[in-house]
Amino acid sequence: MENEYLKLKEFWNEYFKNSQTFEVAGKWIEDENFNSAIKKYIREGAKVLDFGCGNGWGLIEIAYTVNLGEGIGMDQSEYAVECSNRTVEASNIGNLKFVVGDETTMDNYRDYFDVVFSINTFDVITNEALENVALGCQKVLQKGGYLLVGLNPDYPMSFLEKAGYEKKNGYLIKNDIIRGNFKTTDEWIEFLSKYFTFVEKVDFALTELDKTYPRRMLVLKK
């Protein structure tokens, strides 16, 4: 699956190639479940890693919810990182920076972070990469630190097929590229519990569609 993972990385790098800088004026997520979970598990002054940060919206939203000591967003896409850094500069947001990196880069931050946050990343990569990412999160978290994993909605297969996806060997495929790691919530909990202690699942919505098919945040502890 190594070649599939490389192809996947190339896809997401190109995906962010034309990302636009935008000015963020404040919080936009109104979902109380999401906001309560962030406040519950991320304390004031915490050091937070947003792994697979994309255009940085997750870390920026956290920074508007909790007064962070330091926030680092990490993504393998140089385009995503460039856009994120431009966005925080345009928005005059302090204590945040974005760096190019993947699971191998986490060796540089051993026992450094209070919390690792990752949304829509764990469930779009291969199983082999997942193992390495989970181990990387173990390395960078301080003892007693939390891992917050945001997962895409658990759409029914009929819904996904209408959107052009097919299921093959446990993955969602579109245009011959892996676009999803197909696991039930229980299977995600079982997998991540090999590396962390499961705490709770929090359902939340970012869009109107999410109110029908909620997103899932799995909270785990080192």
φ, ψ of residue 100 in degrees (nearest 5): -80, 130
User: How far apart are alpha carbons 136 and 52 in whole angstroms?
Assistant: 12
Spatial neighbors of 212 by CB under 8 A, at least 6 apart, are none
- In sign, the C-alpha dihedral spanning 118, 120, 122, 126 is negative
Tell me if 96 sits within 8 A of 63, measured CB to CB.
Answer: yes
pLDDT at position 19, please? 82
pLDDT of 215 above 70: yes
User: How far apart are alpha carbons 7 and 42 in whole angstroms?
Assistant: 34
Domains (ranges, CATH) in the chain? 2-16+28-221 (3.40.50.150)
Task: Give the pLDDT band of residue 2 (cuts 50, 70, 90).
Answer: low
- In sign, the C-alpha dihedral spanning 61, 64, 67, 69 is positive
Say how many residues make up the chain.
Answer: 222
- In sign, the C-alpha dihedral spanning 16, 77, 112, 127 is positive
Which segment of 1-5, 78-82, 88-92 scores lowest on mean pLDDT? 1-5
Encoded tokens for 125: 């990569």
User: How far apart are alpha carbons 99 and 76 in whole angstroms?
Assistant: 8
From edge to edge, which strands make up the β-sheet containing 177-181?
166-168, 171-174, 177-181
**Average pLDDT of the residues in 127-138:** 96
Encoded tokens for 47: 């050091």
pLDDT at position 125, please? 95
pLDDT of 47 above 90: yes
Q: Strand runs (DSSP E) across 76-165, as ranges? A: 96-100, 113-119, 141-151
pLDDT at position 76, please? 95
Tell me if 43 sits within 8 A of 115, measured CB to CB.
Answer: no
pLDDT at position 1, please? 65
Task: Give the pLDDT band of residue 167 (cuts 50, 70, 90).
Answer: very high
User: How far apart are alpha carbons 196 and 140 in whole angstroms?
Assistant: 13
User: How far apart are alpha carbons 205 and 222 in whole angstroms?
Assistant: 26
Token look-up 């636009």 returns 20
Q: Look up the pTM and report it.
A: 0.94
**Average pLDDT of the residues in 57-64:** 96
Bridge partners, 119 (sequence order): 150
